[in-house]
Amino acid sequence: MTYGGVATEFAGKALTISLAQRDRAAEAVITDAQGSVEGRAPDQAVWSPRGAKEVLVEAERVRTLSESTVQVTFRDLSRLRLNPNSNAIIQRMRSDPLTGAETTRVSLVSGDFYALLNQLGNRAAFDVEVPGIETETQSSDFWVKHEDGESRFANYDAPALEITRGDETIRLGENEGAVVPASGETQRADVLARVVLTEPFDGKPLYDPSVTLGWEPAPGAEAYWLEVAADADFNAMQASEWGVRGTSRVVEGLVPGEHFWRVSSLDRLGLPGVRSPSRRFRIVDDGTPPFVTLATPQENAIVTSATVEIVGESEPGARLTVNGAYVPLGGNGDFLTSVTATPGPNRIVVAVVDPAGNRTERTRSFVYSPVSAVTIELDPAARRDAEGRLLTRTDGIDVAGSSDAPEGADVRVLGPDGAEAVRALVGLGGGFQVTLPASDAGTAWRLEIAGADGRAAGVATFVTLRDAAAPEIVLDAPLPAATGNGWIDLSGSVGDAVAVAVNGAPARLDGGRFDTAPALVPGTNGIEIVVSDAAGNVAVKRVETVYDIDPPEIASATVGRPEGTGGPIEIVVEARDASGLRQAARFVLAVGGTERRGFLRCDGAAGTCRETLPPEAGALALVEVVVEDYAGNVARRQP
């Protein structure tokens, strides 16, 4: 008997071992139990509840009631999940102490289960019995059902699932199924193809524990099988609904957190098709009202223009209105709109509702006081952020501008409280300059130029902001230590940066994010990322990677029995590579003319790959060794 191409017997050496020594009971544990799950050990007369982490013994019965499932995990991490209203017996669980090979036999009394066997483990056999039928499988992914004297099988793996009823033997290949009645002719069919899931989108946050899951109609489907789990491997099942009609289903009572779901179509024979790729969604428990801040206008501000800008920030993804009119939010939750003021007091109402339905409302009052025309223009070359605020990296800022006011006209600047902060005069040609403080929170100012009657004939409002913090450079993913490509994908976020250069070349910047693909040269490549914001703050980040196009160098590869002819077999390979060796290297070894395949464990720092095999008689010949580096380069050593 073989599994995955590895023989379970040692060749060329006679061994006398008692049954008690050779086989020992393996382990099986309930790793998930949903709903009502019961078990009955061989020495128990009645059924009793079973839960997660409970150990099962040989000949123990396990059953699920309505709307219940249970997953049994064997020592080699193979899994078997009983669906609702199913009854099975774990007849045999044995592990060979010499080879570690696992032998398992499960009897399905009624109901159905699907099995996912560990292909990397050392498994000798996993057999399934249903009344009147035996199976033998090399498949690692299959489904079995027995109901009303009729048995159904579906195989989703390339290795075959072999079914025997009396003198009849059927081999099911990949994505093939069969219905075996108690008597009469067996029906075979290809199982249906994967279902295409439609809603919700993968990864979508939802705010209601009642979730509608939808998919496209599948050709040939009579109904569908829906599964929902708390993990991507479907080890923690939350719902398993068989025979769903239509192409959508409402799943109730899900708890906050991530959930994963998939669908299989059911054909006219009751065989489940190939499982769809799983999707995930996230239920968010959000009872917190969204925040909303208003930068302008200031409360009780006096404005001189009928068009008043409303600038602020709120929760990204929320819906915001100003005086009932919808205003779109930017990617960071910022917003900018304007209202038309009427002379005298004005009031605006900003309301925001987040995706969970929570609501926040803010009001702001200001006075519109029109003035006679003296035009004022602040220096267009002054540094500004995206909201037009004047920027400085220090505690003070020189604010310059021009106007059509006469030389000597009074210039005064009022602070947020309306008090005069500084006074100056218009110079020759209408120019002026004042020095004002700046703070991290930003300060709003009102600049007035007086007319001949001493009253304000021109007004300009602005905000000064101190910004001494350089943008933070955050890469989406660390650079690989080594790569076999002649370029490297580089992307990330750079906060409020307005320019990004990578190795001196400008990179595309959009919404605080950049992406580029600098070229590499063989060997170690240093990459320098330089970003700057509107205030002139600069941040630098340096990373490096190795462009490795050379395969590892295999210095030697030996095989022998260091402890003598009756001792273990040891394979040792010495290799080196600039980007490091991967942790496993494949080998093919001939022992007495019979090939053995496996993996060597590699120590990149020491430059060695080795493996020790159990004693086995016969001449040794190392047929092939395949060593790979972290850049994907491969070296082969053959005689």
Question: What DSSP assignment string belongs to 63-81?
Answer: EE-TT-EEEEEETTS-EEE
- pLDDT score at 5: 30
- pLDDT score at 422: 95
Reported pTM:
0.49
Strands 187-190 and 176-180: antiparallel
Q: Are 256 and 285 in contact (CB under 8 A)?
A: yes
Q: Are 183 and 226 in contact (CB under 8 A)?
A: no
The fold of the 2-190 domain, in CATH, is Jelly Rolls (2.60.120)
Reading the block at residue 432, the tokens are 């002026």
Quick one: 376-466 is in which CATH superfamily? Answer: Immunoglobulins (2.60.40.10)
Backbone angles phi, psi at 303, to 5 degrees: -115, 150
- Give the separation between CA 212 and CA 206, rounded to whole angstroms: 10
Long-range contact pairs involving 135-138 (C-beta distance under 8 Å, separation at least 24)? 135/161, 135/162, 135/163, 135/164, 136/162, 136/164, 137/161, 137/162, 138/2, 138/3, 138/4
Q: What CA–CA distances, in Å, run from 374 to 99, 327, 419, 460?
A: 95, 32, 22, 10
Backbone angles phi, psi at 22, to 5 degrees: -70, -45
HSE value, Cβ hemisphere, 13 Å, CA-based, for 616: 24
- pLDDT score at 85: 94
- pLDDT score at 484: 86
Task: Determine the straight-line distance between the first and last CA of the chain, rounded to whole angstroms.
Answer: 30
- pLDDT score at 287: 84
Residue that has been written with the tokens 């509702």 in this structure: 353
The fold of the 197-283 domain, in CATH, is Immunoglobulin-like (2.60.40)
- pLDDT score at 93: 81
Strands 513-516 and 490-493: antiparallel
CATH code for the structural domain at 553-637: 2.60.40
- Give the separation between CA 187 and CA 204, rounded to whole angstroms: 42
**Residues sharing a CB contact under 8 Å with residue 71, sequence separation 6 or more, in sequence order:** 30, 31, 32, 33, 79, 80, 81, 82, 235, 237
Torsion angle, CA of 228/229/232/235, rounded to 10 degrees?
-130
Q: Are 28 and 36 in contact (CB under 8 A)?
A: no
- pLDDT score at 20: 37
- Give the separation between CA 132 and CA 544, rounded to whole angstroms: 65
CATH code for the structural domain at 292-368: 2.60.40.10
CATH code for the structural domain at 474-547: 2.60.40.10
**Fold agreement (292-368, 553-637):** yes
Render pLDDT for 209-262 as a digit per residue (tens, 0 to 9).
899 999 999 999 999 999 999 999 999 999 999 999 999 999 998 999 999 999
Would you kindly state where each structural domain of the chain is located, as residue ranges? Answer: 2-190, 197-283, 292-368, 376-466, 474-547, 553-637
Length of the chain: 639
**Residues sharing a CB contact under 8 Å with residue 576, sequence separation 6 or more, in sequence order:** 552, 553, 555, 607
In the predicted model, residues of the chain with pLDDT beneath 70 are: 1-27, 96-100, 119-124, 371-372, 452-453, 639
Strand partners, 367: 302, 345
Reading the block at residue 236, the tokens are 């923690």
- DSSP code at position 638: -
